[in-house]
């Protein structure tokens, strides 16, 4: 046994949690289970991570525990080595489940490292570029008036940026572009040009519809139009980018640096949206951001999740020069941590505590049992009964 083996910190336990949050929106109830991991060490330092993947929460938790056999006894400071081992070391790689599990573990390891060195993670990744993080809030509304009302409420709450569905409220092709334009006009008529609006499409349009969308909606000056095409359709995305006066954003369903390589090389985005709890974790997101910086692109991390995921995103936002804006202004799951983030005038202050800067509220986690999210309840259907993109 070497001196390194004697004096190094070691992982002693890996545990997962699947609490659920129940959201009431109008007359509908939405159930969102989470996937969390907690990693303990023999130094008494623990780290937490999140890998919530809608409708696959238990699957990701099982995948995390499959890595326990490798992680036990290992030095948590060797994050890059462990990432490579989990991603490359078992032959099969890729996909949302495996990458979400690896991301959750990686985030927990960074939390341990930050606590070990008694500093926020961003100080270990080059130091902060900014002192606060601009964020946006997602708003909904199935009618024009309700959408405009909700945007106005967000502005009154201090937000300077909102995102809403532009395409998908009415999926009939003849009406879709007109409906998207009506929604943008209703928002601009209500709040004027004093806020940034972002338009989401969930990858539903065809290239022809997307070309019409970017042409007709440009006059409303959106900050971006998100997933106007399926993320797998890289060549079409590149063509759309060449013709669009609206910045094209995508990336939430793309994994690792290798997944983003083709997107960047083909000029298939103006703004990228890697998701730290799915694309590979904190360091992998920073690598992706560095790749994007070399192509003069900005980064707006995807994060419609909970406080642990948001904490990971904020650590990255702090230290990447090409950061644009952060999703997550809704601050979901404030019960999850002991001192949740707060938004002031559309910004989140940088945490100054070691590691992620948040501490898991175990009592609250254990009080919220797992409730499965029924996939069919969230599916959308065309008039003929076939299934549309969510």
- Look up 270 and say whether it is catalytic: no
* Known catalytic membership, residue 202: yes
> How many domains are there within the chain?
2
| pLDDT tens by residue, 74-132 | 999 999 999 999 999 988 888 999 999 999 999 999 999 999 999 999 999 999 999 99
Residue 361 has pLDDT above 60, yes or no: yes
Segment 318-342 shows an average pLDDT of 95
In the predicted model, is pLDDT for residue 5 greater than 60? no
% of residues, the chain, pLDDT over 70:
95
310 Ramachandran zone, left/alpha/beta (phi>0; psi -120 to 50): alpha
* Mean pLDDT confidence for 290-304: 98
Catalytic residue (one of 82, 202, 270, 278)? 202
Q: Which of 22-31, 132-141, 209-218, 219-228 has the lowest mean pLDDT?
A: 22-31
* Domain stop point among 94, 120, 146: 120
272 and 130 share one domain: yes
CATH number at residue 103: 3.30.390.10
Q: What are the DSSP calls for 258-283, one per residue? A: HHHHHHHHTT--SEE---TTTTT-HH
Pairing of strands 36-41, 161-165: unpaired
> Which helix H or strand E contains 326, and what residues bound it?
strand 326-327
31-43 mean pLDDT? 96
Report the pLDDT value the prediction gives residue 172, as an integer from 0 to 100.
Answer: 55
pTM confidence score:
0.95
User: In this structure, which long-range contacts are made by residues 86-93, counting pairs with CB atoms below 8 Å and at least 24 apart in sequence?
Assistant: 87/256, 87/280
Q: Are 108 and 126 found together in one domain?
A: no
**pLDDT value at residue 384:** 85
How far apart are alpha carbons 228 and 237 in whole angstroms?
Answer: 8
Q: At what angle do helices 234-243 and 207-217 cross, to 10 degrees?
A: 30
pLDDT digits (tens, 9 = 90+) for 244-276: 999 999 999 999 999 999 999 999 999 999 999
CATH of the domain at 174: 3.20.20.120
Q: Are residues 110 and 128 in the same domain?
A: no
Cβ burial, residue 356 (10 Å; 0-12/13-18/19+)? buried
DSSP readout, 301-313? ----S-HHHHHHH
Residues 284 and 183 occupy one common structural domain: yes
CB of 199 closer than 8 Å to CB of 163: yes
When the pLDDT of each residue in the chain is averaged and rounded to a whole number, the result is 93
At CA 119, angle to CA 41 and CA 352, rounded to 5? 120
pLDDT score for 158: 94
Of 331 and 375, the one with more pLDDT: 331
> Does 238 lie in the same domain as 217?
yes
Give the pLDDT band (50/70/90) at residue 169. low
Mean pLDDT highest for which of 105-109, 167-171, 204-208?
105-109
Residue 4: how many other CB atoms lie within 10 Å: 8
Q: What is the mean pLDDT of residues 296-317?
A: 97
pLDDT (0 to 100) of residue 4: 55
Contact indicator for 268, 234 with CB cutoff of 8 Å: yes
Does 380 map to a domain?
Answer: no
> Which pLDDT does position 167 carry in this prediction?
84
Q: Is residue 373 part of a domain?
A: no
Element (H, E) at 360: none
Q: Are residues 135 and 79 in the same domain?
A: no
Same domain, 288 and 346: yes
Work out the pLDDT band at 187, boundaries 50, 70, 90. Answer: very high
pLDDT at 88: 94
Active-site hit among 67, 82, 270, 302: 302
Please check the confidence at residue 1 and state whether its pLDDT lies above 50.
no
- Quote the CA–CA distance of 50 and 28 in Å, as a whole number: 26
Q: State whether 8 and 154 are in the same domain.
A: no
Same domain, 221 and 343: yes
Tokens (6 digits) for 358: 């948040």
Q: Which tops the pLDDT comparison, 329 or 7?
A: 329
Of 234, 227, 217, 196, nearest in space to 324 by CA: 196
Q: Check residue 171 and give its pLDDT.
A: 53
The answer on pLDDT for 36 being more than 50 is yes
């Amino acid at each position: 046994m070497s001196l390194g083996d004697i004096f190094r910190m070691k992982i002693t336990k890996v545990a997962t949690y699947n609490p659920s949050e129940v959201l009431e929106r109008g007359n509908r109830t939405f159930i969102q289970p989470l996937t969390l991991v907690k990693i303990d060490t023999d130094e008494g330092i623990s780290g937490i991570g999140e890998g919530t993947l809608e409708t696959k929460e238990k699957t990701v938790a099982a995948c995390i525990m499959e890595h326990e056999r490798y992680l036990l006894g290992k030095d948590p400071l060797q994050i890059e080595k462990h990432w490579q081992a989990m991603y490359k070391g078992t032959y099969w790689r890729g996909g949302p489940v495996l990458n979400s599990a690896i991301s959750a573990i990686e985030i927990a390891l960074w939390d341990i490292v930050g606590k070990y060195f008694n500093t926020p993670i961003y100080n270990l990744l080059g130091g902060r570029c900014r002192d606060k993080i601009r964020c946006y809030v997602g708003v909904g509304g199935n009618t024009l008036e309700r959408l405009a009302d909700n945007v106005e409420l967000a502005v009154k709450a201090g937000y300077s940026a909102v995102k809403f569905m532009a395409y998908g409220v009415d999926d009939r092709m003849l009406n879709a572009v007109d409906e998207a334009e009506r929604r943008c006009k209703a928002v601009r008529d209500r709040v004027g040009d004093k806020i940034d609006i972002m338009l989401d499409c969930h990858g539903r349009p065809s290239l022809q519809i997307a070309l019409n969308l970017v042409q007709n909606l440009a006059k409303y000056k959106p900050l971006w139009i998100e997933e106007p095409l399926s993320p797998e359709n890289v060549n079409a995305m590149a063509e759309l980018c060449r013709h669009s006066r609206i910045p094209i954003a995508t990336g939430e369903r793309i994994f690792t640096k290798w997944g983003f390589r083709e997107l960047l090389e083909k000029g298939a985005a103006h703004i990228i949206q890697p998701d730290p709890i799915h694309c590979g974790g904190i360091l992998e997101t920073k690598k992706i951001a560095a790749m994007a910086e070399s192509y003069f692109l900005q980064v707006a991390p995807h994060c419609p999740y909970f406080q642990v995921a948001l904490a990971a995103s904020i650590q990255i936002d702090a230290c990447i020069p090409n950061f644009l804006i952060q999703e997550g202004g809704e601050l979901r799951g404030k019960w999850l941590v002991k001192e949740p983030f707060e938004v002031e005038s559309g910004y989140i202050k940088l945490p100054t505590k070691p590691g992620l800067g948040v501490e898991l509220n175990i009592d609250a986690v254990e009080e919220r049992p797992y409730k499965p999210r029924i996939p069919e309840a969230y599916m959308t259907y065309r008039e003929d009964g076939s299934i549309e993109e969510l």
